[in-house]
Amino acid sequence: MKEALIGMLLLPVTLLAQQSGAAWTNIGPSPAAVEAIVVDPGGTGTIFIGAIAGGVLKSIDGGTAWSAVNNGLTTGVVAALAIDASGPQTVYAGCSSHGLFKTDDGGTTWRQLPSITAEVPSVATDPKRPGVVYVGSFNNTANGTIQKSTDGGATWTMVFPTTAAVFKITIDPAEPDTVYLPTIGNGAWKSTDGGQNWSLMSSLSAAAIWTIAIDPTDSKVLYAGTNEDGVWTSTDAGTTWRHVGSPGPFPVYSLSVAASAPQTIYAGTNGGGVWTSSDGGATWQPSGLSSGMVFSLAIDAGGRIYAGTNGAGAQVSHDAGRPGPF
């Protein structure tokens, strides 16, 4: 469903070749299409990858060695992953057409959570409270719901009915009752009470919003990646927004903000790989990873940047994705 919706929304883009001198390393594994990538924020070196064909793969050494951890998964298409606040033993996997799965043993075994059976392209966990998880699901008409569990997925409450697809649920790490929902066609929404009530952030007027990222050093500073309008920013927790710049002509699927470098942003695009900005999104440069579609980005505790790509597997940069010239 996600791939079909992407195809309907986007004009054809040119797949760019990997540039020479790039500061990225392919860390595998096969298959080459990686839709979700999450790293343990605790700095253990644990990484989980969700593949478009291949299920879940795990590394415990920062991506040097990998193992498939698919026992109990009934599909090889994993669109979203989230690590519970209790640590990397508990992980949620959102799957295409097969709902939501959970592991409590670091991926050794998985079980399907029966209450959610539609396609799940977005999962987010509360960074401070174990067992609190939000799931975005939709059916083949792209209508769906946002549901919340406070008991690790045993029970669920619908907190937001959507009329458009949601591919990213963003939780404020400083105030985890604050949740942001960017949608494809229904604006961007915010809740400050854990999903009980929502308000439309009307000044973010882009038609299709793929992702919202929060500056880890100041949670009032937000960045939104859009389909045709580049990157937008807010400095007042979403009350007002302004367009700041674009990473080339490309739709922005994923965003990540560095904790160690003020106003440094990474954008994963459709067609242009990863781009970087060091001035809060006003200007952008290619990072050296230019292999087409980048579904997901993650930065670990040591500042390494991981990218999940559609054609070049999982990639890592140890030097902040050194920008051009190329």
Give the CATH architecture of domain 2-315: 7 Propeller (2.130)
DSSP state of 177: T
In this predicted structure, the answer to whether residue 24 has a pLDDT above a threshold of 70 is: yes
Rounded CA-CA distance 238/234 in Å is: 5
Q: What residues does each domain of the chain span?
A: 2-315
The pLDDT of residue 68 is 93
Count Cβ neighbours within 10 Å for each residue of 211-250 and write b for 16 or more, e otherwise: bbbbbeeeeebbbbbbbebbbbbbeebbeebebbbbbbeb
**What does the pLDDT average to over 39-66?**
92
Task: Please provide the distance, in angstroms rounded to a whole number, between the alpha carbons at the two ends of the chain.
Answer: 36
pLDDT one-digit tens code per residue, 182-203? 999 899 999 999 999 999 999 9
The pLDDT of residue 3 is 54
| pTM for the whole structure | 0.91
> Helix, strand, coil proportions of the chain in percent (round to 5)?
0, 40, 55
CB-based contacts of 206, cutoff 8 Å, min separation 6? 224, 226, 227, 228, 229, 232
pLDDT one-digit tens code per residue, 258-283? 998 889 999 999 999 999 999 999 99
How does DSSP assign 63-79, residue by residue?
A: TSS-EE--TT-S-S-EE
**Closest CA relative to residue 295, chosen from 320, 277, 314, 276:** 314
The pLDDT of residue 133 is 98
Residue 177 corresponds to which tokens in the numbers above?
Answer: 């009752």
**What does the pLDDT average to over 230-250?**
97
**Closest CA relative to residue 40, chosen from 52, 48, 32:** 48
The pLDDT of residue 324 is 41
The pLDDT of residue 98 is 82
Higher pLDDT: 291 or 124? It is: 124
pLDDT one-digit tens code per residue, 35-45? 999 999 988 99
